Structure 1
């Protein structure tokens, strides 16, 4: 696909609000030249600590004796690598976030004791709900099935069944179902009226062809327990095709109940890194599942807020790394807005199911990844997109020079440009990064295809690769060659105003900075003037005259919004700085272009772009 030159032409032809000459310069020469700091809803920079942003370790008090719970071994949130190192958690309740690692000298005994306790619990259930003969026959039946599996003997005809008899009490039936599946994960139980029937778990046998027996049994134990907020991790794997087969099996068989994610292990420098597959229950499955007899009372989900500092790092890569270190998935993180890659950025984040203590413990490990976490504290809820007042920018513009054929002092041009935009503002366009900085496809093309219900076209546009050889583009190239969507997925690292009348305009009722224009959607009003006609012409040009801005296949509705035409930078300041490693030559008001740079700082409201403000100042496209 050819480069989208039409996009470049459209962007470069955007108009300016001020008429000064401007100047040339280079931004983002290095990440430290472009620092972005979120401003929270209270108007505070998120990189500044306050009384509220103090990390405190709360002493965990022991439970009263009358509420003390019997320790129980919990293998459901531990990877196989961790198990082999005997780093197993013990649980004193239902919440994973209350668990601590045992001292190394006590780990082996803890595991042994835990397994013995688990076996004793099974014996207690079977001993109390089954007579001795039935219990003996169940063990014999399970042994026969397992023996045939190990001998690779195929079962001929219908799967053999074994009845545990009728259990009239509903809660006792539920307890027995779980006990059988946990003790014999290669078996399944089904209910027939009040009778419990045991059968071979053929899906478990199928999984044993893909992974080890230990992994398969562990997965089905995890699946049966349905413990909220728990996860299961398969052994690390370098074989991409094998991982794809495991993903496919789990999603095909249990995709309505669980979701799978692949995470690279913590060896990012490797050419062929180990990758682990983690399984987690979908949230809906937990919201609607029935509570078992012995389930603990529901606990409030823990939320921990922090400020993330990252340097020259994609935000989603940073979140993926944090997720691996904390043992959660990327969707557990929430944030108010996206941030640039080639920059130093500070942004507020909240992570679910992680305590402040756990987050504090990974601080030093993050430094190797050019990341830091600040202002760690407990909060009540997640963040929402747009939940911020704006952003503060500290930008260094290098390689300063005059526009072509401009003989006026560069210092004078800089002063004129900054004061002009400071007083008059800038046209509040979306920055080009909003549409993607690729050369071949931009996100507006994809959105247009979606609105026209051209789903195949939209998918192909979305998966059109650029020329670079990063993992995402390699996955896109794979799709271009194979049309294998699932395989491609496995390769990826997921106010209104009043309509201004002629009378309003004549009476100067509204100033230009109050005027907004619609961002297309089903819930906006178009101006009843020439501007409104322009909207209709653009809609007609793109085949959207009758578009309802609703996309039923994706269950996606686009309500639209209103965007102010003009915006002003706030708290704007600037200074000329000398490059430290070069001798500076000055002659009155003259600036040596090779040795002096411009440091400019300002605040912008949410959804405003620093590059657009700089474009107005410099009269120069980036």
Structure 2
């Protein structure tokens, strides 16, 4: 372990170095792997039917490589520190920058390309009942026209004639009045009769002189959320499977909402799924007919909606048991024996449950730097970290960041920032409306979930570093003072999730537990810390960042951290794999739900194939990162920096260009 003796809370202040060449990286990785082994204890083919997508987008592009990192602080020659807003350093974001350093297995690592194509990563949600969510039906919905009921037993023939005339004329300026008694139950019966017997009518109770009447007007049955337009025997939510390719869950929902002309807040989901992947998950939406959703399929790109039904309850965040992953690793360098040994190890021992690189952002500035600034109430620092220049983005946004950095004129810049960069636009709009120095209020312009993501990213960074240090110093066996859950369902806890108090391992009960029972806390004001040296490590790390372990409440309740618990080691379930030999790197080696549904045939291994791939299938609990399981297999860095350089130096990648 090249940094095993370094203080873990100092990792963000390590010397800033240019990224090494691929050969140097491989040599360092191999040396690192050997150390860990000795010290550890224990796009589719051109013939394929496409989902309204662009073939070229399946492969990783240079613009998706994160080429630089701006540290929160950096040492000068005299030992003082600059703020991140003062300087920009070039350094590619690597796993060690976010606290990821340890391996738990003893096998020899090998190289392979992870996510060379987004089609190499297929994710299916596992719902609360334990069923795999799959897109299996995209057929047109059955006739959903409302059945008009006979209401002659509830309305007089005269009132029925008036209401029929109102419906036929569709005149919104005309009203029909029905005299009613003071009996509320009787009035309710008449309101229901109007909804059951006529389309497009809406009724309200009014006072006319000394009498009560029911006023009926034509309001068009297509008024989406009105009581008159939604059948009472139909669930209030439409539930469907969202299949997406190379899109964020929220981007997909925002697009669907825009096309339906409804607010994104009317949609609910159990969890977000990877962007660079083909994924299937359940979504619910309030009072939206199946027909309207189905008709979107002809206009959507890289999206497909299906398996529609009406339900009474909406989905809630965290309402899932996990995710099934089917992952293709290409251009595998290891021999069959190495591969089998690595995969058997994953199956039997599991992997360190690190927060993966996705948690810390895809640009050169880690999200936890912004989170740390927010926790310090340093609003200016947080805003500047989000807006400051960085390498590796397209020319348009790069030029906008440069202009901002030089002129700091939010109003002038707003017209130039591309609409696709919605976060930057929202922040600039906040600065323009609140004043260029009102950083606190400007930050509130960003959606609450995004702001919380920054803060939770800092917690994740601390957790990664603490777990690395715990494994480095205590190994893979429980020690007195460790925290454990007796309930096996506590595999991962998000900061917003419910918690139960863990137990402390003592000399008397230590034999009852294994490393798979041990949890480590995300720092917060309402959690227990280990009753051993690890408690001091947390305190030291937070103090180094100018924070107190004893006071993680914030003046803004949104940024107060209650804390949470997360298992140190996760053992995946339903682990299986296949080895493929292939020649064409553009051929998909795994079928998605949509491809299976449209009759695509799975590619077979070629006897004379010059390239080797692994197709791995695993099931993980919620909030676990499949990339960290892959890291344990390969024992190589999963950062986009390393993976992209690996791609550039392979025959597989060259053949794909």
* Interval containing the TM-score (normalised by the shorter chain): 0.5 to 0.7
Are 1:373 and 2:313 matched, yes or no?
no
Alignment of 1:182-197 (within 5 A): none
Are 1:333 and 2:258 matched, yes or no?
no
Larger Rg: 1
Aligned to 2:352: 427
Contact 1:55 1:375 in 2 (8 A): no
Match of 1:463 among 387, 405, 417: 387
Contact 1:55 1:377 in 2 (8 A): no
Aligned equivalents of 1:448 and 1:338: distance in 2? 24
Match of 1:39 among 114, 122, 126: 126
State the shift of 1:563 in Å: 0.1
Aligned equivalents of 1:477 and 1:337: distance in 2? 35
State the shift of 1:580 in Å: 5.3
Over 3 Å counting, the alpha-carbon distance change for 1:361 and 1:23 in structure 2 is: same
| TM-score (structure 2 length as normaliser) | 0.54
Aligned length: 410
Tell me, which stretches of 5 or more residues in structure 2 are unaligned? Answer: 1-87, 178-205, 210-222, 423-446, 448-498, 586-606, 639-657
Alignment of 1:104-119 (within 5 A): 117-119=171-173
| TM-score (structure 1 length as normaliser) | 0.57
* SS, match of residue 536 in structure 1: helix
Aligned to 1:412: 337
Moved more, 530-539 or 315-324: 315-324
Over 3 Å counting, the alpha-carbon distance change for 1:595 and 1:621 in structure 2 is: same
Over 3 Å counting, the alpha-carbon distance change for 1:63 and 1:487 in structure 2 is: farther
Over 3 Å counting, the alpha-carbon distance change for 1:475 and 1:547 in structure 2 is: farther
Aligned to 1:615: 631
The RMSD of aligned alpha carbons is 4.5
Match of 1:599 among 615, 634, 639: 615
State the shift of 1:490 in Å: 10
Contact 1:308 1:373 in 2 (8 A): yes
Alignment of 1:234-313 (within 5 A): 302-313=236-247
Aligned equivalents of 2:286 and 2:396: distance in 1? 28
Aligned equivalents of 2:230 and 2:258: distance in 1? 27
State the shift of 1:509 in Å: 2.1
Aligned equivalents of 1:7 and 1:381: distance in 2? 42
Aligned equivalents of 2:401 and 2:150: distance in 1? 57
Aligned to 1:61: 147
* SS, match of residue 628 in structure 2: helix
Aligned equivalents of 2:637 and 2:112: distance in 1? 10
Aligned to 1:449: 373
Match of 2:571 among 568, 571, 585: 568
Over 3 Å counting, the alpha-carbon distance change for 1:119 and 1:497 in structure 2 is: closer
Aligned equivalents of 1:389 and 1:28: distance in 2? 24
Contact 1:26 1:399 in 2 (8 A): yes
| 1:67-89 residue CA offsets vs partner (Å, 9 max, x unmatched) | 689999xxxxxxxxxxxxxxxxx
Over 3 Å counting, the alpha-carbon distance change for 1:118 and 1:26 in structure 2 is: same
Over 3 Å counting, the alpha-carbon distance change for 1:476 and 1:319 in structure 2 is: farther
Contact 2:375 2:559 in 1 (8 A): no
Aligned to 2:325: 393
* SS, match of residue 255 in structure 2: helix
Over 3 Å counting, the alpha-carbon distance change for 1:69 and 1:442 in structure 2 is: farther
Aligned equivalents of 1:426 and 1:25: distance in 2? 18
Over 3 Å counting, the alpha-carbon distance change for 1:337 and 1:6 in structure 2 is: same
Aligned equivalents of 1:295 and 1:346: distance in 2? 30
Tell me, which stretches of 5 or more residues in structure 1 are unaligned? Answer: 73-90, 93-109, 125-169, 174-226, 231-290, 403-409, 583-590
Aligned equivalents of 1:461 and 1:71: distance in 2? 65
Are 1:322 and 2:256 matched, yes or no?
yes
State the shift of 1:550 in Å: 3.4
Are 1:517 and 2:520 matched, yes or no?
yes
Are 1:557 and 2:560 matched, yes or no?
yes
Contact 1:577 1:599 in 2 (8 A): yes
State the shift of 1:24 in Å: 0.4
Aligned equivalents of 2:224 and 2:105: distance in 1? 58
Match of 1:531 among 522, 534, 545: 534
